[in-house]
Amino acid sequence: MSVNKDIDLNNEINLKEIFLLLWRGKFFMILSALICVFFASLYVRDLDRQYAVEYRLKPVNSSGNTDSFGELGGIASIAGFQLPSKSNSEFDIFKELITSTEVSAVVLRTKN
């Protein structure tokens, strides 16, 4: 029991002193932040801009059957199972076209 009484309680962190120290150095911190922002803006201003374009080509499904399992998909749907299918719906085509190079060229041309 005497071990607990010998613990020095003066080893606490005084948050008030830390905040006062930071408050006294506020002008130095603001000045260093402004200098860093200035040099970073100079660096970004002189940086070469590079853009990358990615082409996504996919074959067009020539048959009218969009089910990847053929007739088994219909039987499975009757039984209550959902099998994955190849979907060429208009929304999927829209999602592919919105990332095309033509759209990116229009977006890069627009200043707003």
Query: What local confidence, expressed as pLDDT, does residue 49 receive?
Result: 81
pTM: 0.36
Which class for 16: exposed (0-12), middle (13-18), buried (19 or more C-beta within 10 A)?
exposed
pLDDT tens digits, one per residue of 58-93? 665 555 445 455 566 666 667 666 655 555 567 777
Reported as a pLDDT band with limits 50, 70 and 90, residue 4 is: low
Q: CA end-to-end span of the chain, whole Å?
A: 74
How far does Cα 80 stand from its chain's mean position? 37
Q: Helix 26-45 and helix 15-24: axis angle, to 10°? A: 60
Query: Per-domain residue ranges for the chain?
Result: 12-50, 51-112
